[in-house]
């Protein structure tokens, strides 16, 4: 039995593939910005982005691009440490356990590790962060999208939806424009992802509920 693919079908699939690739790229970009200071290449790339559109994610990306163009690169490295790392901890503590349980290395991390094992993911030997770091969760989402996995909605609703926007809202209030704009981009993107995945869940015969 053969299936004929019409030009409209092919165009629709290409659009879908492009949208999925853009989703994965945004997860990876946010992971990179949260995990470590932006280097010169990344700052230059962001500053030179040509962004147009009226949706909140596009507008937030344009604002981040403007902040990158105006950024002092050396100051950004210090700002990343102050906001997201700190000597003991930064102004923002980007871990699921902290936002969900009020302590580091708590139940949210235990539950996440169980799901990561089930999905076949394990922490890189070079990483010193617990797996519930916001950047790590973004990276997992990017990989699930790349793989075309149907586990993305469940993973998002279980491990990101309950806390990620609160963390990104906190980041959006820091006094460094570049990182505040990063928080705004993340907040807008996660809000869009949540709406998208909740809509998918409504159409699914299996309901995905936020814990």
Q: 49 near 26, Cβ under 8 Å?
A: no
Q: Which regions of 52-104 does DSSP assign to beta strands (E)?
A: none
Token representation of residue 139: 């990276």
Residue matched to tokens 């040509």:
50
Nearest to 28 by CA among 174, 155, 189, 184: 189
> 2 to each of 5, 75, 85, how far by Cα in Å?
10, 60, 56
Token representation of residue 134: 């916001």
Q: Which residues of 59-74 are buried (b: 16+ CB within 10 A; e: fewer)?
A: bbbbbbbbbbeebeee
Tell whether the model's pLDDT for residue 85 goes beyond 50.
yes
What is the rounded average pLDDT of the residues 72-99? 93
User: Distance (Å, rounded) from C-alpha 82 to C-alpha 92?
Assistant: 9
Under the banding of pLDDT at 50, 70 and 90, the label for residue 211 is low
Tell whether the model's pLDDT for residue 7 goes beyond 60.
no
State the sign of the Cα–Cα–Cα–Cα dihedral 90, 91, 92, 95. Answer: positive
User: Distance (Å, rounded) from C-alpha 114 to C-alpha 52?
Assistant: 41
Token representation of residue 41: 């290449």
Strand partners, 133: 95
pLDDT per position as a tens digit, 103-162: 999 999 999 999 999 999 988 767 778 999 999 999 999 999 999 999 999 999 999 999
Q: What is the pTM of this model?
A: 0.88
**Cβ neighbours, 10 Å, residue 98:** 20
User: Distance (Å, rounded) from C-alpha 133 to C-alpha 149?
Assistant: 22
User: Distance (Å, rounded) from C-alpha 50 to C-alpha 44?
Assistant: 12
């Amino acid at each position: 039995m053969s299936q004929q693919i019409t030009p409209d079908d092919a165009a629709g699939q290409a659009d879908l593939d492009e949208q999925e690739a853009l989703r994965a790229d945004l997860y990876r970009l946010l992971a990179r910005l949260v995990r470590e200071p932006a280097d010169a290449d990344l700052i230059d790339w962001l500053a030179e982005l040509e962004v147009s559109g009226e949706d909140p994610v596009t507008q937030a990306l344009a604002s981040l691009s403007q902040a990158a163009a105006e950024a002092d690169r050396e100051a950004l490295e210090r700002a990343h440490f102050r906001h997201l790392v700190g000597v003991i901890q930064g102004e923002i503590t980007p871990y699921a356990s902290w936002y969900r349980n009020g302590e580091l290395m708590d139940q949210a991390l235990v539950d996440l590790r169980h799901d990561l094992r089930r999905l076949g993911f394990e922490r890189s030997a070079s990483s010193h962060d617990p797996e519930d770091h916001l950047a790590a969760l973004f990276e997992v989402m990017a990989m699930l999208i790349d793989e075309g996995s149907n586990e993305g909605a469940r993973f998002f609703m279980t491990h990101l939806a309950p806390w990620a926007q609160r963390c990104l809202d906190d980041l959006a209030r820091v006094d460094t424009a570049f990182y505040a704009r990063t928080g705004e981009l993340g907040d807008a993107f996660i809000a869009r992802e949540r709406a998208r995945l909740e809509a998918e869940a409504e159409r699914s015969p299996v309901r995905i509920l936020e814990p």
